[in-house]
Copies of this chain bind each other. A is one copy, B any other.
Amino acid sequence: MTTTVTATETDFLEACRVRIEAELRSRLTTSRAGDTLSEAMAYSVLGGGKRIRPALCLGAALAVGQDKDKALVPACAVELIHAYSLIHDDLPAMDDDDLRRGRATTHIAYGEAIAVLAGDALQALAFEWLSESPGLSDNVLLRMIRTLSRASGHSGMVGGQAIDLAAVGQDLAIAELETMHRRKTGALIEASVMLGALTSQHVAQERLEALSDYARALGLAFQVQDDLLDVEGETVVIGKPRGSDAARAKPTYPSLLGVDGARHHLTRLLQDARGSLADFGPEADALREIADFVAARTH
Asked if A297 lies at the interface with its beta carbon under 8 angstroms from chain B, I say no
Mark the stretch among A55-63, A146-154, A267-275 that contacts chain B.
Answer: A146-154
Stoichiometry (number of copies): 2
Determine if A150 and B162 form an interchain contact, defined as CB atoms under 8 angstroms apart: no
Asked if A127 lies at the interface with its beta carbon under 8 angstroms from chain B, I say yes
How many chain A residues touch B (Cβ–Cβ < 8 Å)? 48
Residues 257 to 281 of chain A near chain B (Cβ within 8 Å): none
Asked if A7 lies at the interface with its beta carbon under 8 angstroms from chain B, I say no
Determine if B93 and A112 form an interchain contact, defined as CB atoms under 8 angstroms apart: yes
Asked if A138 lies at the interface with its beta carbon under 8 angstroms from chain B, I say yes
Q: A131 is contacted by which of B41, B116, B145, B163 (Cβ under 8 Å)?
A: B145
Chain A 132-172 interface mask (CB, 8 Å, partner B; 1/0): 10000111011001100110111000110111011000000
Asked if A128 lies at the interface with its beta carbon under 8 angstroms from chain B, I say yes
Also in contact, A37 and B159, with CB within 8 A (given A123-B120, A145-B127): yes
Determine if B114 and A165 form an interchain contact, defined as CB atoms under 8 angstroms apart: yes
A-B interface, 4 closest residue pairs, ranked by CB to CB distance from nearest: A124-B153, A93-B112, A128-B149, A138-B138
Q: Which of A120, A125, A145 has the most CB of B within 10 A?
A: A120
Determine if B93 and A113 form an interchain contact, defined as CB atoms under 8 angstroms apart: yes
Q: Which B residues lie within 8 Å of A162 (CB)?
A: 35-37, 114, 117
Determine if A158 and B121 form an interchain contact, defined as CB atoms under 8 angstroms apart: yes
Q: A36 is contacted by which of B85, B112, B128, B166 (Cβ under 8 Å)?
A: B166
Determine if B158 and A37 form an interchain contact, defined as CB atoms under 8 angstroms apart: yes
Asked if A91 lies at the interface with its beta carbon under 8 angstroms from chain B, I say yes
Q: Which B residues lie within 8 Å of A146 (CB)?
A: 128, 131-132
